[in-house]
Structure 1
Amino acid sequence: MSNEPVWDRPEPPGKPSPTPLSRNLIVSAAIGLADEGGLDEVSFRKVAAALNAGPMRLYGYVETKDELLDLMVDEVYGEIALPEPGARWRDSLTRIAHGLREAARRHPWFIDLLGGRPHRGPNSLAHIEASLATLDRRPEFPTIDHVLGAVSTVMAFVHGAVRSEISELRDEQATGLTEEQWQAASGPYMQKMLATGRFPRLARVMFDAEHTNAAAFFDTGLTYVLNGIEATTRNPG
């Protein structure tokens, strides 16, 4: 097995074949399988079958499943539009946050691969660099530690919020019930529990809160996070 990162490793020389292969074709096929059925559908055998090729041919391009997953993640990062240099830092971080959410909604498996192992692909690194550049050299963020702290806070919110949103979408698909149908089904039990008076705040959520959609919840939460960062920059003590 090569110690060279997959992005730096040359592809094997082309050979006459009725089924041409490349890393791009392999990654595209793997992403298609994951989009359709989740990460459990991604295997060398299934990717090879989707490309009408023998599984052993794939190993000349990608040596392990971990490498394939890294390539898939990097491909999705490449879909995310980065902010223009010089834009307001709040606008830039908002664009980055929405770009991640939209990518995860297109590719629900993507959120499962964020966090944990580092992503070192060229698109991943470009995304990290652009995120840090939104705050770097601005007076509100005097050191790289201030920059890293703010960006990490936004990313932590985005990953958590999107993970929760995707989890709810999966639950709907698994049960066949929309959120409204699930609430209706569980309504009698919740009514009984709330009638005890032990859960007054939950009662307010059930009866008084405006149940907006996931996009609105995401926007509200992101605004809270950005407001907190902005307030911290004004009052660093």
Structure 2
Amino acid sequence: MYLMDTPYGSGPLPVWERPEPQPRAAPVPLSREKIAATAIRLADAHGLDGLSVRGIAKELGVGPMRLYDYVTNRSELLDLMVDVVYARIAGSARDAGWRATVLAVAHATRAAALDHEWFADLLGGRPHLGPHALAVGEATAAALSQAPGIRGIEDLQRALGALNAFIVGAIRREVTERRTARATGTDEAAWQASHGPYLTRMLDTGRYPTVARLVHDGAHLDAGETFAHNLTTVLDGITAGPHA
């Protein structure tokens, strides 16, 4: 066990800082990279609820105990998986202007979550601290700090909070809608059609005039275009500086 001293006592080194176990004479070579890739493939197919050390070991053709040489628990496994996804997002943060960088990271985060829906379940909690997650955080914060309306660290904190709240909320809503459509066998259009007669009766009462306008006059908005439009609106708002 690799330990480090902290203000709270001695604790294990994070998985990022522990060396890989020494190679063993075994039919199947292992690495954290290989374990994470297998876990991601299983989570993509079955979600996080269907993810287990035993299932990963079976997929790799090894005994479950061998995996504990590389990850000590499920939390470390998730950390590795998440950072693989962040590696993809980090690749979008090119050396461009601040606005282009922020937009690119946000769109790459959405694309990654749509490809790996379980990733959306792990957004919005405690910060991810893997090396690629930190690279994404650094690129986003550094870019946003250059925005004209960001004048100090408190402005930057609030702007990052607002931006992340939008991105996480929008992504989770979109992923939830996709899952609901699969689980029920009914997409949004079919669901709306099935509730049409009831909604018509309610709107005909005249008690919900604004909702009625949205239903009758509102267009069917593409999810990608909506995300892009709302992202731009949020970004404009949080970088415009203080309002009277």
Shorter-chain TM-score range: over 0.9
Counterpart of 1:85 in structure 2 is 95
Unaligned runs of 5+ in 2: 3-11
Once residues 38 and 149 of structure 1 are traced to their aligned partners in structure 2, the CA distance between those partners, rounded to angstroms, is 32
Contact 2:102 2:140 in 1 (8 A): yes
Contact 1:85 1:134 in 2 (8 A): no
Contact 1:82 1:127 in 2 (8 A): no
Which is further off, 149-158 or 159-168?
A: 149-158
- Give runs of ≥4 in structure 1 deviating > 2 Å: 81-86, 135-140
**Taking structure 1 as reference, are residues 62 and 151 closer, same or farther at Cα in structure 2, changes over 3 Å only?**
same
Contact 1:70 1:119 in 2 (8 A): yes
Contact 2:93 2:136 in 1 (8 A): no
Once residues 95 and 161 of structure 2 are traced to their aligned partners in structure 1, the CA distance between those partners, rounded to angstroms, is 20
1:1-237 matched pairs, under 5 angstroms: 3-80=12-89, 81-87=91-97, 89-137=98-146, 139-231=148-240, 233=241, 235=242, 237=244
Amino acid at match of 2:142: A
Contact 1:82 1:130 in 2 (8 A): no
**What SS does the aligned partner of 2:38 have?**
helix
Contact 2:15 2:76 in 1 (8 A): yes
Amino acid at match of 2:112: A
Displacement after TM superposition at 1:109 (Å): 0.5
Indicate the RMSD between aligned Cα atoms, in angstroms: 1.5
Unaligned runs of 5+ in 1: none
Once residues 168 and 188 of structure 2 are traced to their aligned partners in structure 1, the CA distance between those partners, rounded to angstroms, is 21
**Taking structure 1 as reference, are residues 21 and 141 closer, same or farther at Cα in structure 2, changes over 3 Å only?**
same
Amino acid at match of 2:94: E
Contact 1:157 1:222 in 2 (8 A): yes
CA deviation map 1:132-176 (0-9, x unaligned): 110235553221222222122111100000000000000000011
Once residues 203 and 148 of structure 2 are traced to their aligned partners in structure 1, the CA distance between those partners, rounded to angstroms, is 50
Once residues 41 and 173 of structure 1 are traced to their aligned partners in structure 2, the CA distance between those partners, rounded to angstroms, is 17
CA deviation map 1:16-68 (0-9, x unaligned): 11111111111001000110111011110001011011101000000000110
Displacement after TM superposition at 1:211 (Å): 1.1
Amino acid at match of 2:139: A
Amino acid at match of 1:167: T
The alignment covers a number of residue pairs equal to: 234
CA deviation map 1:98-131 (0-9, x unaligned): 0110010010010110122221100011110000
Sequence identity of aligned pairs in percent?
Answer: 47
Displacement after TM superposition at 1:9 (Å): 0.8
